[in-house]
């Protein structure tokens, strides 16, 4: 029994040694094969350095690429409004055949009979044409082509009310006047920014309230000349009427008022009906010419008649117009007839101031154009 166990142990040791040897041989073989495989890969992918070639390499033509990049960076004005179907043109994309809606100017299929956008739906013309000069993408009243010409943004509606050249006129005002919004010297007339604020002046301080015809005289031609005595009352600038009668014949001074009664211009009496019962009255609408003694200033007043509902009141002796300007940095001015004033280098002359009509006539001296403010 003991001998059998001893033999078994000796056989086990041999078997173990053989197994270890086999493992070593397999590992060695694996290493050898792996090394050969790696060497083969190195040989396959090794870069072999040889003599440089003397053949010149032709430069590549990048003209098309440069044109494409330029078109993308700064598209042409016409390109923004046209659909390009030719793939040879410089464009990142080659769209389907489309056109711009005649109303909203958005791209729609060429064959569409109506705009495909729900908020538009406009009927499209059968001829499939569109006037690009009228397209207004942002709806600000400025056509896209006009905006592009003067460096504005066709997709920004706010630039219509902006003032690109700082001349005091908005871009849309310049468009309507056909002027250049990028040139401060090109702008609508300054008269479009003038407004009559008020007509002011000194009132005639007299009111004619009565008349009496004097005996006539004989004129140089042998014909009779009529003469009148007029009764006046004084009137203050705030409208207070005096109580003292001032009588003067034509050609005489009117007491100490500083005025002279020049002439009575008699007109036919006008028939009027007054009150509920249509009482008939006759209204005196004659006029009286006066002259201020200090400077010869002439004035004409209408005879005062309480029954005359159209009596104009005391006229202004010196009518002056106060003109305001809707322009930055230009202050209002007060001018009299004959005065000349300047607005940013352009001169104007006041031709007349009419207090009754509340108007002032002005001439633009550059082109002699006459306009009226009211």
Q: What are the DSSP E strand ranges found in 259-318?
A: 259-265, 270-274, 279-283, 287-292, 298-302
The pTM score is 0.46
What pLDDT, on the 0 to 100 scale, is given for residue 80?
Answer: 47
Residue-level pLDDT, tens digit, the chain, 374 residues: 555 556 655 666 677 777 778 778 878 787 887 777 777 776 666 655 455 667 777 777 878 778 767 766 665 554 444 444 454 555 545 555 677 888 888 888 877 888 989 889 998 887 656 666 778 888 888 888 888 889 888 888 888 889 888 888 899 988 888 999 999 888 888 888 899 999 888 889 999 999 999 999 998 999 999 999 999 999 998 889 999 999 999 999 999 999 999 999 999 999 999 888 889 999 999 999 999 999 898 999 999 999 999 999 998 888 889 999 988 888 999 998 889 999 988 999 999 998 878 899 999 999 999 999 98
Q: Are residues 270 and 358 in the same domain?
A: no
Report if residue 309 sits inside a domain. no
| Count: domains in the chain | 2
Instruction: Report how far Cα 231 is from the mean position of its chain's Cα atoms.
Output: 57
Q: Are residues 291 and 328 in the same domain?
A: no
C-alpha distances out from residue 222 to 217, 266, 307, Å: 9, 21, 38
User: Cβ(109)–Cβ(98) under 8 Å?
Assistant: yes
Q: Which domain holds residue 340?
A: 192-201+318-373
What pLDDT, on the 0 to 100 scale, is given for residue 305?
Answer: 93
Task: Specify the residue for token string 């790696």.
Answer: 38
Report if residue 76 sits inside a domain. no
Pair of tokens at residue 279:
């009482």
Report if residue 105 sits inside a domain. no
Nearest residue to 310 via CA among 320, 302, 318: 302
Residues 6+ apart with CB under 8 A from 41: none
Report if residue 252 sits inside a domain. yes
Q: Are residues 216 and 349 in the same domain?
A: no
Report if residue 284 sits inside a domain. yes
Q: Are residues 280 and 326 in the same domain?
A: no
């Amino acid at each position: 029994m003991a001998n059998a166990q001893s033999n078994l142990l000796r056989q086990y040791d041999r078997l173990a040694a053989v197994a270890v040897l086999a493992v070593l041989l397999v590992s060695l073989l694996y290493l050898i094969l792996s090394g050969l495989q790696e060497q083969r890969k190195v040989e396959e992918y090794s870069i072999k350095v040889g003599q440089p070639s003397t053949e010149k390499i032709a430069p590549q033509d990048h003209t098309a690429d440069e044109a494409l990049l330029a078109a993308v960076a700064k598209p042409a004005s016409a390109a923004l409004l046209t659909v390009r179907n030719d793939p040879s043109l410089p464009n990142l994309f080659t769209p389907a055949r489309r056109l711009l809606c005649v109303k909203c100017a958005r791209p729609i299929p060429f064959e569409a009979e109506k705009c495909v956008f729900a908020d538009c739906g406009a009927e499209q013309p059968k001829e499939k044409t569109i006037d690009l000069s009228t397209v207004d993408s942002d709806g600000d009243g400025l056509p896209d082509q006009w905006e592009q010409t003067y460096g504005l943004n066709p997709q920004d509606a706010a630039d219509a009310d902006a003032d690109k050249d700082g001349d005091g006129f908005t871009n849309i005002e310049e468009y309507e006047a056909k002027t250049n919004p990028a040139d401060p010297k090109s702008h609508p007339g300054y008269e479009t920014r003038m407004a009559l604020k008020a007509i002011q002046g000194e009132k005639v301080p007299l009111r004619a309230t009565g008349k009496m015809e004097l005996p006539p005289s004989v004129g140089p031609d042998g014909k009779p000349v009529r003469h009148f005595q007029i009764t006046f009352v004084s009137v203050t600038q705030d409208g207070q009427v005096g109580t003292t009668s001032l009588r003067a014949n034509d050609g005489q001074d009117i007491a100490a008022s500083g005025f002279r009664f020049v002439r009575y211009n008699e007109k036919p009496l006008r028939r009027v009906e007054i009150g509920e019962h249509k009482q008939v009255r006759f209204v005196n609408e004659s006029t009286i010419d006066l002259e201020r003694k200090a400077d010869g200033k002439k004035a004409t007043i209408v005879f005062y008649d309480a029954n005359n509902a159209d009596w104009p009141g005391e006229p202004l002796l010196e009518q002056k117009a106060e003109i305001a300007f809707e322009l930055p940095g230009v202050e209002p001015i007060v001018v009299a007839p004959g005065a000349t004033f300047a607005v940013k280098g352009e001169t104007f002359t006041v031709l007349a101031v009419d207090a009754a009509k509340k108007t002032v006539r002005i001439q633009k001296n550059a082109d002699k154009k006459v306009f009226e403010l009211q």
